[in-house]
Structure 1
């Protein structure tokens, strides 16, 4: 598995009727596939998250969506950034992602995290628990999921989960990749060092040097060569052939979530845009290179929350960034 350039879809509020919603999703992913993106990511939420909009905005279920996309694409890998571990029994999740792998001809990647959005847990009736609870559950889940993806039949009797000789057939392969997503320097990075093929870091870009130092330490603690754990960064990208239009898209997006860039201080602006990359193609490329790739990150997973549904924008982003990650 290699993820150098991924495309995530966290936003489904398009100016189209619901009947045209999924065709718009398919068009984006086909455009991503043609433009050289190697992986397409759904998001595992029932509601829109507070960082992107109101909770009642449209949101598609992740694995149903990926199953449909498996039949509409040919080469691009399919994953979730990230599956909320709290939403599914781990043996069922292993079965689900393995079925996606079979349906797609070996293109699935298991992206998983501890879960964090309390509102959707509460309103859908899922136990949220404490921060410690969620990471205990994730650690146990990975001890079940990992062997099931590798063709083993695990028996596990934990605090949160129990399985007995769990069978996972059919499988195309015994090396279906595992991606962990998050930014926690102790818990998330420690689990990544133990179980993951890939770590996606979703935090402010200014913190990346410290994050990578922490990851190096967690790998050393378990005797793993850090170079064997691939990394990527989740970037919020506002790109347009017109840099001024891209900046307006960013300004309008932030205004909708309560941040007016025309009125905030330089410190507040830096904090609000620390995960954002904005401008014309050459500007975005320079920002991604200097703020992320030059820090030691292997690849980029990006979303285009403002205009990814517009024909040609995904292709523009791929054409702009693919040369950077291939360098």
Structure 2
């Protein structure tokens, strides 16, 4: 399993009435599929993220959205980038993503991470805990989820989670791929080497060569062939159709994401991603278009440029 070219939909604030909101999401997913993207991904958040919009802006629940997209598409893989482990019981999450796999005829990926957005936890009543606790929970969750995705009953008594022979049927294929998202060299990369089929690296572009090298090292430390762990990179695409639009988009790039944003025309952004990301040893690109991906034709234009 790999993501060669993914399209992430992180923004649901569009012109027009809310009744048309999901139609716009479907249109983007279908445009991505037709344009050669192999994966469509959504965020797993309850509020819009700082730097993209206000917390009260529109945000759809991830797995309801993915289930609906499964019926609106036919070839693209479907995933959260990434599921917040702290929001869901792990056995229930295994059941959820397996149901998505059945509904989509074998196109689901379980993207998962430790969780980080403290305000969502506070407001919705989920325990946030410390950084160390969140990674303890993620490791325990993966210990339950991984066998369930293979159709094996999961039994585990941990500090945070318990499963007692939890079964997971029906299934449509032998297993469902697991993708971790993040950049932590000590915790995330070690868990990816143990449990994941794919690692989506989220970091400043200048750090990519080191991240790739460390991820390979984590695989080698446990005797895993690094070539068996696929990689991709999440890029914020600030793509304009004209020079003026590119200038306007430049003014909206969040301060803390400028080192992860790629600004220019579709062809210019594609060239930047090739030179700075793929050349660093990353296997695939996932891009979002937070300001104008809803505009008809934008996803197709970017997809065409990235595949030239």
Both proteins in one fold, TM over 0.5: yes
CA RMSD of aligned residues (A): 1.1
* Aligned residue pair count: 308
- CA-to-aligned-CA distance 1:214-236 (integer Å, 9 cap, x gap): 11221111111111100000000
- 2:288 maps to 1:307: no
2:275 is equivalent to residue 290 of structure 1:
yes
Per-residue Cα deviation, 1:172-196 (whole angstroms, up to 9, x for no partner): 0122110000000110000000000
After TM superposition, where is structure 1 displaced by more than 4 Å over at least 4 residues in a row?
none
Which deviates more from structure 2 when the two are superposed, residues 82-91 or residues 210-219? 210-219
- Give the Cα–Cα distance (whole angstroms) in 2 for the partners of residues 115 and 150 of structure 1: 24
Query: Gaps (5+ residues) in structure 1?
Result: 260-270
Equivalence for 2:191: 191
Residues 151, 175 of structure 2: 8 Å contact kept: no
How far 1:272 sits from its partner (Å)?
4.7
TM-score normalised according to structure 1 size: 0.92
Separation of aligned partners in 2, 1:75 and 1:175:
18
Distance (Å, rounded) in 2 between the aligned partners of 1:172 and 1:281: 38
Instruction: Tell me: CA distance 1:272–1:92, structure 2 relative to 1, closer, same or farther (3 Å).
Output: closer
CA distance in 1, matches of 2:3, 2:124: 32
Give, in whole Å, the separation in 2 of the partners of 1:307 and 1:177.
30
CA-CA distance at 1:51 after TM superposition: 2.7
CA distance in structure 2 between the partners assigned to 1:145 and 1:5 by the alignment: 26
CA distance in 2, matches of 1:281, 1:53: 23
Q: TM-score, normalised by structure 2?
A: 0.98
What's 2:103 paired with? 103
1:57 aligned partner: 57
For structure 2, the residue ranges without an aligned partner over 5 or more in a row are none
Contact 1:235 1:275 in 2 (8 A): yes
Shifted more, 237-246 versus 107-116: the winner is 237-246
Deviations 1:62-82 (A, max 9, x none): 000011111111111110000
Once residues 173 and 250 of structure 1 are traced to their aligned partners in structure 2, the CA distance between those partners, rounded to angstroms, is 44
